[in-house]
Each structure stands twice: as C-alpha cells, then as structure tokens.
Structure 1
Amino acid sequence: MDPAPKPRLVWRTQWLIFLAFFRVGILGFGGGPSSIPLVHQETVKNYKWMDEEQFADTLAIANTMPGPIATKMAGYIGYRVGGVIGCLNGLFATVMPTALMMIFLLQLLQQYKDIPWVQHMSASVVPVVAVMLATMTWDFVKKSGETLGWVKGVWLILASLLVTEVFNIHPAIVILVLILYVLLPFGKGKVS
C-alpha cells in the first residue's frame, strides 16, 4: 500500500491545479472552444498530467455531455490529478475569472462599447482565437493520421465534416456513433 502523500505535496498539487485552470479561465476569451487549446497547453504540455491520447479521449467524451466544455474538463482533470478537492478546485479556478469579469468588466465594456478603440479591441481577439483553434485542429489531424493511418484519418475527418456541417447532425451524435461502432462486435474494439 502506498504511503499517504505528504501535506506539502498535496497543497502544491492543489495550487498547480488552481493556477492551470485560473489561467484557462482568465485567458479563454470567446467561450469554451477557445479554452480547449489553453487546457491542452496546461495539462499536456506544461504540467504533463496527461498525454495527447488521454487529452483527446477526455475532450471527445466531454463534448458528448451537456454543459460548458471548460468546466467539464477542469472538473475531470482536477479530479484525476487531485481527487474530489482537485475537481472542485479546478471548477472554481475556471469559473471564478469569468464570474469576476462578468460582474466588474462587462458593465464597463457595455458603457463604452460605441468607442472605436473598444470595438477594435474586442474584434482583435477573434484572429488570435482562430489561430489557437487551427493549431489544435492540426495537432488532432496529425494524431489521427498517426493512429488510424492517413487515409482512414482523413476519411473520418471529411465524413465527420460532411455529417456535421452539411446534414447538421450534432457532433455528440457522431462521436457516440463512433464509440458504439468501436464497442460493438463488428467494430472489433477499434476504428482502424
């Protein structure tokens, strides 16, 4: 049986969980999708709490559930790293910056929204978020190509794009269908 973690390590872990998800909460302009690359940066690249595949699995499952993606991921990753307290800590750290900004800054922004420099400031965030999402998308495309093979990976990407954008089927349904395919006997436990 493993010895209980030292109190100092527990507090340090909780502090790191708070810092990671506070940064996500404070920098995640534009809603949930814009926070995904930030969560990836903190959990995979910065703190190495999970690898690329685990992150992709967490993101896929989180996308199938209702609610904001940032809080679902903060809750799960916080739990995985720091238990129940880590879950609550991650949730609090993710939500707190947004709540504070809503309370204090949104009123100020609304008051000065017609000033041109305020309009340009708000519009300037959009390209940055687009680049962050494009970078993460390319990382997922590469991962798909490596794990499934490039032909199957590109085929699944194009099929998913067609189904979600042309036929307006919710991405959660597409993900659930693929999960069921993998779990059913003819799926043989894998998409490849």
Structure 2
Amino acid sequence: MTRQEQRQLFSIFFKIGITTIGGGYAMIPMMEREIVDKAGWLSKQEFLDILAVAQATPGIFAVDMAGHIGYKLGGVRMALLAAGANVLPSFVIILLLASFFHEYKDIQLVEYAFRAIRPVVVAMIAAPVFSMARTAQLTRYTFWIPILAAGLIYLLGVSPVYVILVAGLCGWVYGLLSSRRP
C-alpha cells in the first residue's frame, strides 16, 4: 500500500471507530461501504469471508474485522494500523468519560440519554444482519439455518459456542459430500 492508501486506511477506521455507537456489529455497514463500495479494496465476497473469520476469531469483533481487513490489504503492519485506528477513538472517549462519569451518573438527563441510545443500537445491529443475508445468498432452502440458530440460542439457552461448532461441522460435512457429487 502507498503512504496515501495507508493514511486513507487509518482515516477510514478512525472515522468508523469515532462515529459508530453499538459495537462491532453496528460498524459492519460502514466498513462495507468504505472498504468495498468506496475504496474498492475488497470484493463483497472477500468482505463476507473476513466477516465470517472475524466472528470465529476470539477477541473484540470490530478490532478483529479491522485487523483482518488490514492484513488482507497489506500484511501485519496494515493490520496493526487498521486495528489501532479503530480502537483509538473509543479508548480516548472511554478514558475521558470514566474520569467524569462518577460525578454525573445520578443526573436524570444522563440516564435518559443512555435509555434513548438503546433502540438506535438495536437498529444498527439489525441492519448488517439483512445485508449479510443478501450477500450470503440465503434461499428458501437455507433460510431456516439462521432462524434455527437464533432459536436455539434465545429460546432454549444453548451456548452460541455449541451452535457455531455444530454449524462448522455440518458445513464441513456438507462440503465433503457436495465435492464428491458428479
């Protein structure tokens, strides 16, 4: 990557880190728009592949996404640059808020503000779910898989770890079986 592209990569992930409320999943649409649509550094399929790997990687999802994207674009150095840029705004903001929050936490207006943010966060997390469903090319034969996974986790209290492990095993077996078909 050129110096200009490195600065652009830092700027993109810094902007994403400072403007997105709601965690890693809320950042997905902005990452896709900036990295895939505007910069054209990755295809939609490459982005979806990185998304899948980042979900399976231990750690903070947004940092994993930034690191994987940076690595794909320019190796370890770009991975550290992208991840650092993504974390820097949150680190500074949390540091500042933590130093003042204990003085203002009992003010009613502050409590109302935190309550008002919750529905926005839910909407920001829901948006990438629909985007991923389109990119993953769900069909009438496969749409039941995410519904079943969500039901197992939410309704029956099954650990997401088990759902991911079983889904990975099923995908591996399906891949083996479908590669043997003529």
- TM-score bucket of the superposed structures, by smaller chain: 0.7 to 0.9
Alpha-carbon contact 1:24-1:35 (below 8 Å) kept = yes
Q: What residue is the counterpart of 2:166 in the other structure?
A: 177
Q: CA deviation at 1:165?
A: 1.9
Q: Judging changes above 3 Å, is the alpha-carbon distance between structure 1 residues 89 and 132 closer, same or farther for their aligned structure 2 residues?
A: same
Stretch of structure 1 that moved more, 132-141 or 165-174:
165-174
Within 5 A, what are the aligned runs for 1:115-134? 115-134=107-126
Q: What residue is the counterpart of 1:77 in the other structure?
A: 69
| TM-score calculated relative to the size of structure 1 | 0.79
Unpaired runs of 5+ residues, structure 1, are: 1-8
Q: CA deviation at 1:140?
A: 2.2
Q: CA deviation at 1:172?
A: 4.4
Q: Deviations over 1:22-76 (max 9, x none)?
A: 1221123233333333323322333232233322222222112211001111111
Alpha-carbon contact 1:181-1:187 (below 8 Å) kept = no
56, 64, 79: which one aligns with 2:56: 64
Alpha-carbon contact 1:78-1:90 (below 8 Å) kept = yes
Separation (CA, whole Å) in 2 of partners of 1:53 and 1:170: 28
Within 5 A, what are the aligned runs for 1:18-29? 18-29=10-21
Separation (CA, whole Å) in 2 of partners of 1:141 and 1:37: 13
Separation (CA, whole Å) in 1 of partners of 2:162 and 2:42: 26
How many residue pairs end up in the alignment? Answer: 178
Q: What residue is the counterpart of 1:153 in the other structure?
A: 142
Unpaired runs of 5+ residues, structure 2, are: none
Q: Deviations over 1:75-103 (max 9, x none)?
A: 11011112222111011101111111122
Stretch of structure 1 that moved more, 171-180 or 89-98:
171-180
Give the CA RMSD over aligned residues: 2.3
Q: Which has the higher contact order (CA 8 A, sep 6+)?
A: 2
Q: Report runs of 4+ in structure 1 exceeding 4 Å deviation.
A: none
Alpha-carbon contact 1:37-1:133 (below 8 Å) kept = no
Separation (CA, whole Å) in 2 of partners of 1:172 and 1:28: 27
